[in-house]
Structure 1
Amino acid sequence: MDNRKTPIASFYANLQVFKGYAEKEYLPYTTSAGDVAALDAALDNILEEGIETVFARHDRIASAVRGSAQAYGLELFLDSDRSNTVTAIRIPEEIGALRLQDHLSENYNLLVATSLAQYADVILRIGHMGENAFIDKLIYVLSIIDNGLRDLGFAGNGDLAQLFIDIYKENI
């Protein structure tokens, strides 16, 4: 950190700002009480489950989401170097990621993310980190994405949620 050659772009992401504040026992900004409570609960959950188990769960969930998307007939955005916390899927051009996003929000009350700039209408991002990295949450989300894609004319190979379940079970 001390030997960094380039400046850190964000005040809040700059850990240099925090130097010396531990001794002063306060932070250089007002911390949200809700954020602190959420962090405390998240850390309790991680400690209860065990860090290695948490990493393994994220790996299994990510592999099952990616495998099910591919088996369903969708293309992953990246071939390698993917995070186990999110899956980026190319949405068929004739549907478009923004159209699918709107459709899922309006018809199923599901908020999903697309991307930015030239990829905004190309990629749908499925987050599976923390509390969203449990099988029941992904079954729900993938079922709705499957319904939305079918509503808009994409005939996938099978049932997206069932493909996810099958692949997840194979990896246990």
Structure 2
Amino acid sequence: MDNKMMLMIPGPTPVPEQVLLAMTKHPMGHRSGEFGQIMAEVTENLKWLHQTQNDVLILAASGTGAMEAGIINFLSAGDRVLVGNNGKFGERWGKVARAFGLDTQEIVAEWGKPLNPEDFKAALEADAEKQIKAVIITHSETSTGVLNDLEAINRHVKAHGQALIIVDAVTSLGASNVPVDELGLDVVASGSQKGYMIPPGLAFVSVSAKAWAAYETATLPKFYLDLMPYKKNAAKNSTPFTPPINLFFALQTALRMMKAEGLESIFARHDRHKRATRAAMRALNLPLYTADECGSPAITAVMPQQVDSEQIRSVMKKQYDVILAGGQDHLKGQIFRIGHLGFVCDRDILTAVAALEASLVALGYDQFTSGAGIAAASQVFKAG
């Protein structure tokens, strides 16, 4: 049956009907007063979502564009940086840093394991001459479903006193608590196709006063991703370049939906879905790739032992129109990932688990009692 596809991947994520309908409106002039009103509203609501009074700037880019902007606007070639690497995206930020000539030291953890805050503490405390200019970390590592301990790592950065903290919050913003002002985060990057519940195409960068001070001496080349024109134009409820107008319509609607739900309810929903999904996988005797204490509220990675993960994904898609994500790099064919962030409800989790049970039966996997996954998830939902 056409048009029944169900996205259960960590991005793009499902889009609410009212957001899709908002995008069908005819575009308006981006220099018009009407667009200025939309810009003012979304900027205010983005600050609400980020829990900040800092600038939150909007780019026509992906999350990678937001992170690149976060790196090149506040650093200079030769600057020393620490990059947390425990997955595909941590690895990517190391590559970006080196591409721009930064003196890059990686703090590495095994894929599927969280970054150790004590490793950051040791490196930062050893920097007696305060040469480290920034610490770059991924909060929720999309490739493995690990949630790194942002608060602990940030505490060590603050003790250093000089370094900026630059955070990839692409799959955590809107799924878990990222209190920008409370933690004093300097640069926080995110993308529209995750917790924001809209299609890909917009990226967001939160910038602190400390980061803007660093901007004044940063010399890395930039033009389209130079954040100062975005800051100046945002103050006038405008943009420096032509924005994707209809994505702003979508953003306006999605942020209104998020405000109506409330931050605490959003975070509780994502935590509930994480716990229900993990409980279901255990009931199906499918090993989880990450430990409970570091599991992301956005993604659950599963490493089946007696059935092929790519076959699972294939049956789920062909028979039930449920799309799961595969593993990346050396994990390709080793894990599958269930996305449960953004516009996802309890029913979606139950549907995905039921389809997974049926797919396992079709593949001859019999290491579970029929209905066990649904029962385990239901118990989590019953408890709240």
Q: Which residue in 1 is equivalent to 2:348?
A: 137
- Residue among 287, 294, 310 paired with 1:81: 294
Radius of gyration: which is bigger? 2
Structure with the largest fraction of strand: 2
Large movers: runs of 4+ above 4 Å: 3-8, 12-16
1:72 and 1:163 in contact (8 A); partners too = no
Residue 31 and residue 95 in structure 1: after superposition, are their counterparts in 2 closer, same or farther (change >3 A)? Answer: farther
1:18 and 1:27 in contact (8 A); partners too = no
The secondary structure found in structure 2 opposite 1:73 is: coil
| Letter matched to residue 250 of structure 2 | A
Gap regions ≥5 residues in structure 1: none
1-side partners of 2:297 and 2:80: how far apart? 29
Alignment of 1:52-63 (within 5 A): 52-63=264-275
Residue identity over aligned pairs, in percent, reads 22
Alignment of 1:4-153 (within 5 A): 5-6=80-81, 9=96, 15=205, 17-24=226-233, 25-28=238-241, 30-79=242-291, 80-92=293-305, 94-132=306-344, 134-153=345-364
Residue 5 and residue 17 in structure 1: after superposition, are their counterparts in 2 closer, same or farther (change >3 A)? Answer: farther
| Letter matched to residue 137 of structure 1 | D
Deviation of residue 38 (structure 1)?
Answer: 2.8
2-side partners of 1:83 and 1:17: how far apart? 31
1:91 and 1:97 in contact (8 A); partners too = yes
| Letter matched to residue 299 of structure 2 | V
* Aligned residue pair count: 167
1-side partners of 2:334 and 2:374: how far apart? 22
Residue range with higher mean Cα deviation, 100-109 or 18-27: 18-27
2-side partners of 1:119 and 1:66: how far apart? 19
1-side partners of 2:320 and 2:288: how far apart? 23
Normalising to structure 2: TM-score of the pair? 0.40
2-side partners of 1:39 and 1:67: how far apart? 33
Structure with the largest fraction of helix: 1
The secondary structure found in structure 2 opposite 1:57 is: helix
Normalising to structure 1: TM-score of the pair? 0.83
| Letter matched to residue 136 of structure 1 | R
Gap regions ≥5 residues in structure 2: 1-69, 84-92, 98-201, 206-224
1:73 and 1:157 in contact (8 A); partners too = no
Deviation of residue 34 (structure 1)?
Answer: 4.0
